Amino acid sequence: MFESLTAKLTDVFARLRGRGMLSEEDVASGLREIRRALLEADVHYKVAKELIERIREKAVGEAVLESLTPGQQLIKIIRNELAETMGGGRATLSLDRRPAVVLLVGLQGSGKTTTAAKLAALLKKEGRKPVLAAADVVRPAAIDQLEKLGAQVDVPVVSRPGFAPPEIAAAAADWAAGSLCDVVLVDTAGRLQIDDEMMGELEAMVAKTEPSEVLLVADAMTGQEAVNVAGAFDERLGLTGIVLTKLDGDARGGAALSIRYTTGRPIVYVGTGEKIDGIEPFHPQRMADRILGMGDVVTLIEQAEERIDREKADGLVKRLRRNRLTLQDFLEQLEEMQKLGPVSTILERLPGAARLRSSSDSDEEAEMKRALAILRSMTVEERLNPSIIGGSRKKRIARGSGTKVRDVNRVLSRFEEAKRALKLVGGRRGKGRSPLDMLEAS
């Protein structure tokens, strides 16, 4: 996400920091490069132009040019203006009505069905009782897909074969009221904004259900086209918010930076992966930090607190303090790390990640998968007592994991390095470094 833009902005900031005091020409030159980077990231040209002008107005003044750290002051201004362009603060759903109807609309293939299930799972965690409405009667197997996803997140799905979409949405709202469910998430068929008949169907659905929210589900990878789509849907339906999907696959990030500013509608959630938990609230300040290569440690901590098994973590700390690290611990920590997403996603949330990522994402993921396969191919006895792993056992583990003996040796070697390091650190401070850190560092 934003990989190309972040790399270019990081280079600009490094040069500005290295100049000490800045002149107006230094600022102007830096802003020209930033504007070029924004346009290359598929940011709408009007958004890029106005953003740069706002930065220029605040940057060319005593507060920056006469500051002891002008480079840092300029970066702070850019961060704040980026966040303001994306909405300033976090936008939340208005779900006061019982039940509150939420229509999910958008082009075909934007991810509405999956997003409906993701939102249902997220709202359940927040204490809501959602229901899914299968109002996509156009796409083959759309209802079956929604029913499978509903079962996966343990949320009921209301479908009415033979009914028109507006009637299906209204029936789902009636069912929810009778079943004490408080949110109805309506999955609708994908349609082009120029298809007058299909857009009229959505207008009829809005009139019949009086939804609390009309959310456009937009594919971030379509860039500026997502902005055009949002404007057209907003004109016909009166959007209340936007969900940007596939943001994890958009290395440019133009849609995220443009859509709020051009439509006036807030980005409420962003899709960050294919799994059912691959969705998160959109925080403009945090996103600005990620774009500027400052990471997003707050979100990483929130996800760790939510997904990582606290008992396992506490048990590991106790074993580390007693210097009793095993390969079983390695396996469990790698599995816990997987819950936070791909290695590339974790690095992206760490400050300075743009400089840390020396190898490709595919190499990082491949190394992780190899280590997991090797550790899972071992018996419990081998993981608890690695000293018994001789030549014949290594060959068996390599065959079972689809790797080579040298790969098994590499994992064992890193494990021994971790044990030695933990023994030294533990002797000095009474606690050790995570074995996962050692595995990733090598």
Name the band, by pLDDT with cuts 50, 70 and 90, for residue 392.
Answer: very high
| 3-85, CATH topology level | Four Helix Bundle (Hemerythrin (Met), subunit A) (1.20.120)
pLDDT at 89 over 80: yes
Name the band, by pLDDT with cuts 50, 70 and 90, for residue 201.
Answer: very high
Which pLDDT belongs to residue 374? 92
Which pLDDT belongs to residue 351? 53
Which pLDDT belongs to residue 430? 43
The residue that leads in pLDDT, 13 or 211, is 211
Which pLDDT belongs to residue 339? 67
Domain 301-441 class?
A: mainly alpha
Q: How many other CB atoms are there within 10 angstroms of residue 434's CB atom?
A: 17
Q: How many other CB atoms are there within 10 angstroms of residue 154's CB atom?
A: 9
Compute the Cα dihedral for 361, 363, 369, 375 and give only its sign: negative
Assigned superfamily of 100-294: P-loop containing nucleotide triphosphate hydrolases (3.40.50.300)
Nearest residue to 295 via CA among 351, 251, 357, 248 = 351
Three-class SS state of 271:
strand
Indicate the burial class of 54 (C-beta count within 10 angstroms; 0-12, 13-18, 19 or more). middle
Q: How far is 319 from 178, CA to CA, in rounded Å?
A: 52
Which pLDDT belongs to residue 323? 54
Q: Strand order in 241-245's β-sheet? A: 157-158, 130-135, 183-188, 100-105, 213-219, 241-245, 267-271, 279-281
Contact 410/300 with Cβ under 8 angstroms? no
Tokens of 13: 């900031």
Tokens of 130: 């959602």
* Structure-token match 């081998």, residue found: 382
Contact 288/86 with Cβ under 8 angstroms? yes
Count of residues in the chain: 442
Which pLDDT belongs to residue 424? 57
pLDDT at 194 over 50: yes
Contact 213/100 with Cβ under 8 angstroms? yes
pLDDT at 210 over 90: yes
Q: Any idea what the Cα angle at residue 34 is, between residues 31 and 39, rounded to 5°?
A: 125
Nearest residue to 334 via CA among 298, 305, 370, 303 = 370
The residue that leads in pLDDT, 368 or 207, is 207
DSSP 191: -
pLDDT digits (tens, 9 = 90+) for 18-42: 666 777 788 888 889 989 988 888 8
Domain boundaries, the chain: 3-85, 100-294, 301-441
